[in-house]
Amino acid sequence: MSEENLSQEASLTLPVGHLLIIWNILSSKLSGSPLNDEFTGEEKRAIWALEDLCENELLNNGITAKTEKEWNQIIDRATEFVKTIPAEFLD
């Protein structure tokens, strides 16, 4: 059995559109949902870490706090954007 370094940092490259959708799911759809009650503490920490990573990357890409209307508009644009990216699992 190999010994993976679980503390090693990983880098992911995603379009900002995907990042917005992921952040939106993590921050608004999983936060406070009944499903969230079923997650273990470890799963919740992993989700929060991913949410923080997404939020930091959005900030690094110049996407900052917006009004609810502005967020809804940018999420709508991101949703349309991700529809243009081929996804083999949808076939």
pTM: 0.76
State the Cα torsion 81-12-51-41 to the nearest 10°: 130
Q: Each residue's pLDDT tens digit in the chain (91 positions)?
A: 577 888 888 887 889 999 999 988 888 777 666 767 788 889 888 888 888 888 899 999 999 988 999 999 999 999 999 999 887 765 5
d(CA 85, CA 87): 6
